[in-house]
Amino acid sequence: MSNGTEAGNSSSDATLRQEKTNLSYTYNNRRGWRRWRILHPGRGMYHDVKRRLPYYWSDIVDAFTYRTVASTIRMYFVNLLPAIAYTLDMYRRTGQFFGINEAIFSSAMAAMVFSLFSAQPLTIVGVTGLIALFNFTIYDIISIYEVSIYPQFMAWTGIWAAIFHWLAAIFNTCDYMRYVTDFSSESFGMYVGIIYIIKGVEELVNEFNQGGPAAGYLACIIAILYFATVYALEKLGSSTVWKAGVRSILADYAYANS
């Protein structure tokens, strides 16, 4: 009986044992340089690029696989729709300084540049509720003095934000995120989710105020049908209706189909 138990444990250990390959990367022999990273400017960036460089070409080639194409289309719609909604909100609340085409184009350019040089296979850059709230606050402050300087003020705000991001990357301050608990991350995620809900309801209310009851009810119907269609198609992927290939296509392209 004990032999059988030992055999079972040995088999499970063999299953859970980490397999070492030529492409695998571990920190077992590289923990020393992480202790005093702030004293070595740029070392974290160097190791990020060095760690990602062997897989750089595969990140580009893998974009043509089925799962990557489906995920790309999904993330496109997930980022496009909130960007349009938030930009419309900023367009109304900042004296029409923000345009939808300009915001989408700038987000696309920033995402392409960042994805090429960030040493990450997936990077999501776009307009969020926090950015919209930040722009509202700055506009309210600027409107007290001179509204015409708002574009210049936002340009300098972006320049200083870029400088601080560069300093954070050069001096490896991101390494100290390991001291941040999950409570902070989950609280921030809940805050972002609440902003999404509030802004969605505000957009529906604005349709009633600007377009009348007919436009407001139509917007509510479209929003409910869109949510219900995406939710139903996502659930369809884990059901037993139709064939597995059909369910997979409908679930993977739920946002596009909706």
Q: What is the pLDDT of residue 34?
A: 53
Q: pTM for the complete prediction? A: 0.65
Q: Give the C-alpha distances (Å, rounded to integers) separating 127 from 106, 206, 226.
A: 10, 20, 21
Residue ranges for the chain with pLDDT beneath 70: 1-39, 121-124
Name the CA dihedral angle for 196, 199, 200, 201, rounded to a multiple of 10 degrees.
Answer: 130
pLDDT of 25: 45
With vertex at residue 73, the alpha carbon angle to CA 85 and CA 121, rounded to the nearest 5 degrees, is: 105
What was the pLDDT predicted at 119?
A: 76
Q: Taking a C-beta distance cutoff of 8 angstroms, is the pair 35, 101 a contact?
A: no
pLDDT of residue 27: 46
pLDDT confidence of residue 163 = 93
Residue 43 is predicted with a pLDDT of 82
Q: Which residues have CB under 8 Å from 199's CB, separation 6+?
A: 85, 86, 89, 129, 132
- CA atoms of 34 and 255, how far apart (whole Å): 41
pLDDT at 36: 54
Express each pLDDT in 61-74 by its tens digit: 877 887 788 888 88
